[in-house]
Structure formats: C-alpha cells, structure tokens
Amino acid sequence: MSRYFNEQFRKTVEVNNTILSYRDIGKGFPIVLIHGMTLSSCSYYKTVDILLQNGFRVILIDLPGHGDSIIPPKNFSFSIENLSFTIISLIQKLNIKNFHIVGHSMGGIISLYIASVYSRYIKKVVVINTPVFGSPHRLLLSYPFIGEIMELFLGKWMIRKYLASMKLNEKENSVAINEYINKSEKKGFWLMLTRFSNEIFSNEFIKMVKNYKNFKNETLILWGEKDDWLPFTNAQKFDIILPSSKLSIIKNCGHNPHEECSKEFNKLLLNFHIQQIKGIF
C-alpha cells in the first residue's frame, strides 16, 4: 500500500453543502482520480506512486459519502451534474486550471460529464470499465428497502462478495480490503448508496450520451475483458462513437483493472499521458 494513504496526507474541504476528503500529492501536471461506487480513492493505491515517479501531481478524491467523505445531507443530489459540480468546486479551491481526469465505473461517467460541461479544465480523459450508456440492468441498491437491509444485516457480506469477485490477494491487499469494509460500516452508508443508485443516471446523463459524437477530449477507454457487469462490447461501441478515442482491452481482467491487473493498467495509463507530460516539462 502506498504511504500516501496514511492519515497524514488526508485533507478535507467543505464544498457544495458537503465535506469531501481528498489527497493532493506531488508538484507536476495535475491528474485527478475518481473512484467507483461503494469504493474510495484507496482503489488507486497501486497507481499513485507510479504517477508521482513520472512527474504528475495526483489528486485523489473520496466521492460524497464514500471513503472518509461525510454522508451528505438528505437534500444533497447524487445526480451526475451535482456530483461533477462538487468535484469542480474542489478543483477551483485548489486553484487548478487544467488537469487530466481518470474515472472508474460510476467515476468514469462523472469524469465524462466534467469533460463535457467543464471542458476548459480538461486535457485528457481516461475511463475504466464505465457504464457509458447507463446501467445494463437495474442496480440492486435502487430497489425499495435494500439499503435498509444492507445497513442492518448484509453490508459487510456484500462488500466481501464484491472484493472476492476482483480476485484480490487478501494478504497482499489487506489494507485496501479493510478500508472498503470499514468505510462501508459507517452509519448511513448503504442508505446513501440507494440515493446514489437512484439519482446518478439523471436527464443530464441521457443528454450527455446523445452528445458523445461531439465529445472533444482525447480519451483512453480502458476495459477489463472479463467484466461480469459491463461487457467489453460496450467499450467497442463507445470507441466507435467518440471522435478522438483509443480503446485498450486488458485480457483476463475484471471490473477493476487498476487493482486486479495493475501492472498492465499502469503501463497503458502512462503510455497515454507520457507525450503530454514531456510537452510540459
């Protein structure tokens, strides 16, 4: 586990009526990493050091309610536009004018929305196993009372089941596994996820999907071939639609390639950004 996930590197900021936890490390060109639903910024623990070694300033953000970020008040919207605005509000507080953005799963669609609406900030975009056309089926947590059941009885079991599907070595990845389990036990976590599941695919998301053909940013689409939730045919279709994209399929890898297949993932990520960084320094 990277030392940068120690408590001493964690910061908090109040933005958009909630409090976000984040880490801001390094002094190079900024790259913002957005994690997926139920996880935290800790999911990039195998990527942070390699980015720093190659001259990037790394911004790791815990989405509202996730990781060490607080559970937002009930009037907080988990729509894609409000989550994106929350992240941009943090970026503005950090006085960052331009950055690359990387997003996994639900964090990927947030990254795409930020690049679409706040394009003046964004250089390059990387999306990892992302539901770019919406969820292929109704999300479990969007059903009535599932959040309450998870909150009371099954939350830890659900997280362990998800982590087992990633085939993470429990000894090698014990810090990250404990992070996900411990943060899922905070009061209100699963009820927060039901709101997230029901609200993120808003009308603004639908508009964004219809406008993919006009997407301007250079985009890397990274996809674990063995994803049980999102078939890589979605990635192929997305790659055809986007004007300036590159598709890289990681074989024998599932939904979380940055954790499951980090060596190949990091190589592809750096190859995509290395020309940019050479042009800056």
pLDDT tens digits along 192-216 = 999 999 999 999 999 999 999 999 9
Lowest-pLDDT choice from 70-79, 131-140, 143-152, 223-232:
143-152
Query: Confidence band (pLDDT; 50, 70, 90) for 150?
Result: confident
Place of tokens 């009526």: 17
H or E element in which residue 247 lies: strand 245-250
Global pTM value: 0.91
Segment 96-108 shows an average pLDDT of 97
Q: Considering only CA atoms, which of 225, 158, 227, 168 is closest in space to residue 189?
A: 158
pLDDT value of position 87? 98
Q: What is the largest CA-CA distance in the chain?
A: 53
Domains and their CATH numbers in the chain: 3-137+202-280 (3.40.50.1820)
Segment 227-237 shows an average pLDDT of 91
Handedness of CA 251, 253, 258, 259 (dihedral sign): negative
Which residue would you say has higher pLDDT here, 191 or 76?
76
H helix count then E strand count, the chain: 11, 8
Handedness of CA 39, 42, 46, 48 (dihedral sign): positive
Segment 252-262 shows an average pLDDT of 92
Question: CA separation (Å) from 233 to 134, 219, 238, 246?
Answer: 14, 17, 9, 14
34, 87 in Cβ contact below 8 A? Answer: yes
Query: Confidence band (pLDDT; 50, 70, 90) for 277?
Result: very low
Q: Considering only CA atoms, which of 30, 222, 265, 24 is closest in space to residue 107?
A: 222
H or E element in which residue 99 lies: strand 99-104
